[in-house]
Amino acid sequence: MTQIPSGAPHDTHPDSAPNGEARGRTVHAANLPTLPPLSPLTYYRRNISRTLPVGGAIAISVFLIAAIVTLLNSVDASISTHYGFVRRFSVLTTQLEQDVPAPVTAKVAKLPQISHIVPAMAYVLSLKTVFGELPVPVYGVQPTDFGPMLKSTGNHVAPGGRLPRVNAAEVVLSRTWANNFGAGLGQLLKQRSDELRLPPIPLRLVGILEGGENIALCDRTFFELELPSPVQRTSYLLLPHRHADMPALDKAVGDILKNPEKLGLTSADLHYTRLYTFDGIVGRLRESLGFLYQFLAAADFLVIGAVALMGAFLANIYFEQRLGEFGLLSAFGFRRERLAKRVVVETGILVVAGWVIGIGFTWAVFKLFDALYMEPRGLILSTLDASALKYTLPMPLLVAFASLVTVLSRLYKLDPIEIMERR
């Protein structure tokens, strides 16, 4: 046998021998990283048919819980989004009276936080939401007030549209509201109901607003001619210099209404005068929908509990079927502490992977659902936020708890032979 000198170079190139191709594959395979035989990832790779049902059940359960919470949050998101315009200005108006007392408007006009006071006349339309119809105002303003209103709410007229003409049954409104009514440029808005018993007025959409809060604007002169005088009431839209001035503005106007004697008025004179702010409107709507919130929350907790327990039972069965494996490892000399650590690691990987996949799947489905169905119809769908993630946590935690209790209790109470014999 010829001996290769120790100093001679070794040719390890795959083409240096007739079987170079096979040798190249051998060298390449030898360089591949391999997992330890007892690694949890090794088990999952070799037993994918056993792992997928449990991991899939966790992912689907997380998706179901997150979807329910997100749909529940869409109720509140609809309110805050559709009434978001009141974040940009406050509304001083009256109920059952034609106008706000003159001393009040004169005092309010002197407030330093106010940039513009827009006298408007409101007409009510109804939007479709995930919980029913929601009344929203169409403000009739003078042509000179269109600019300040659009600037205050951060809107501009989209290309192809224009502002309403004087004394014309025309309206401009945000794209979300236009989609909600299913109306395009030049089309009439569909009347759904008349919460304030106002006569139906066919309004033609002549412009779509983009870039800011949802709002609808019309010509005031047209409303003055079309609406019966008993229902004509002037609302004063109080526009601040800056958005940051809103809290101070609301407080200053509220103080004026709380102290009518300083204006030479009595409480009876201001009995029907109201200041509408974003917090006030949203708070009252939330209060009126309190029972709906409680009902949906109860249903949500029931579903979360049922789904989480189902996943826990499935995980329990999954690890019960593997007790023979752990018993065999224990019989080979593996300490129970090491086996317990392996169970903890395997369970952690399983529940975390299932939770992440479930959250990712939920995000993708709701993004697609919002883009293809909700947004084109002007419906508001809440985003997958921290509250939805919080509600999904009981699911992986219960699965982990059931899995660990199942195996660890058996490992520490029974000997390897009993575990293998499934006694």
Does 51 fall in a domain? yes
Q: 282 and 300: one domain?
A: no
How many folded domains does the chain comprise? 2
- Give 191: exposed, middle or buried? Use CB within 10 Å, 0-12, 13-18, 19+: middle
Does 69 fall in a domain? yes
Last residue of a domain, one of 241, 262, 288: 288
pLDDT reported for residue 36: 61
Residues 6 or more apart from 43 whose CB is under 8 A from it?
A: 51, 346
pLDDT reported for residue 25: 46
pLDDT reported for residue 131: 81
Q: 122 and 219: one domain?
A: yes
Rounded distance between C-alpha atoms, residue 403 and residue 383, angstroms:
32
Q: 341 and 329: one domain?
A: yes
Residue-wise pLDDT tens digits, 4-30: 444 444 444 444 444 444 444 444 444
pLDDT < 70 stretches in the chain: 1-40, 191-199, 308, 311, 315, 323, 410-411, 413-423
Q: 229 and 301: one domain?
A: no
Tally of CA atoms within 13 A in the half-sphere of 361 that contains its CB: 18
pLDDT reported for residue 3: 46
Domain range holding 375? 40-77+291-420
Largest Cα separation within the chain, whole Å, is 122
Q: 213 and 317: one domain?
A: no
pLDDT reported for residue 417: 62
Residue-wise pLDDT tens digits, 221-262: 999 988 888 888 899 999 999 989 999 999 999 999 998 888
